[in-house]
Amino acid sequence: MRRSKLSRRGRGTAAGVAATGALLLVPGAALANHPVLVEGNCNNPPSAQPFTTAPAPGTCGDYDGDGRIGTAEDGDGDRVFGTLNAANGPSGIANNGTITVVTSGLFPETVTLTGNVTLEGAPGVEANIDAVRQGDPDGNARQGRPGIVVNAPKNRRVVIRNVQSRNWTSGIQIKGDSRVSLNRVRVEHNVNYGVEVTDDARVAITGSEVEATGFRLNPMTGDFPAANRPDPGKGIEFDDRSSGTVVSSTVTGSFGAGISDSSSGSVCVAHVNVFDNDPDIEGRVTVRSSCIGAGSDRRYRRR
């Protein structure tokens, strides 16, 4: 008798599991909010088709070991990608999910994030989003564009963690109603802005380095600031109605201001190393021992 009850209970449980499984397999559900992996590309092109040529064994970032990187890896049907744009595109996360770069390498591409996206380098991985690559003629045009662009509605959240952005007009450009956390990013040698925050965006910058903004030498695109003046060559700028915090971060060696606030929103700075900029702090920036409540509390606004 007891055995029979257990047996019925067991059948019920199995049915419940089956029903749960069926719910998880609703068509379309598999496309939403999932992670993908991205392989690092070669620092120099192995041929005239640098994105499509298989790397030599043991070189570049062929994480899944199939001999494909770049756009060849984008199109082979698995959940590993070779470019950030494909990883974030319709066959990848479609601006809803996590993009994790799993092997070090170069990403010479502007990536635009518009949804609930986490873009990150795995621990120990150098994900270098860089306008310049040796021998790549498209690099001249790329140097006139921003590297990472975030333009998301205010009911979405973007996280960028452990990536490098360099050699662009703006290393990271954040606009619209975007809500963004920059964590352990390294933004170096961009011409006009390291991190550029505009419109109504809200940005928390933590544990990050914004270095050498406005200083770059490229025989093809110019010598900044010696022969060409950056416009304006600021490390971090908050403009328009944007607001944000900069905590436990370093901003050094900017041609213009290190941290600049010309916005009507609040900008709080705590525990920072801001050095050798011109000037280090500009505008309405408030320096505190912590930035708790800085995004919502008017007491943090400069009087």
What residues line the site for Ca ion (CB under 5 A)? Answer: 62, 64, 66, 68, 73, 76, 78, 80
Which DSSP helix (H) or strand (E) runs through 72? helix 70-74
Measured from the CB atom, the residue of 43 and 181 that comes closer to Ca ion is 43
Rounded CA-CA distance 288/245 in Å is: 10
Q: How far is the CB of 133 from Ca ion (least distance, A)?
A: 19
> Are the CB atoms for 81 and 37 separated by under 8 Å?
yes
Q: How far is the CB of 40 from Ca ion (least distance, A)?
A: 10
Half-sphere exposure of 84 (CA within 13 A, CB side): 28
Q: Partners of 113 in the beta sheet?
A: 150
Measured from the CB atom, the residue of 82 and 232 that comes closer to Ca ion is 82
Task: Measure CA 42 to chain center.
Answer: 20
* Token reading at 294: 């800085």
Measured from the CB atom, the residue of 98 and 173 that comes closer to Ca ion is 98
Helices then strands (H, E): number in the chain? 4, 26
Measured from the CB atom, the residue of 64 and 136 that comes closer to Ca ion is 64
Taking residue 86's Cβ as centre, other Cβ atoms within 10 Å add up to: 19
Q: How far is the CB of 78 from Ca ion (least distance, A)?
A: 4
Q: How far is the CB of 189 from Ca ion (least distance, A)?
A: 29
Measured from the CB atom, the residue of 75 and 293 that comes closer to Ca ion is 75
Q: How far is the CB of 53 from Ca ion (least distance, A)?
A: 12
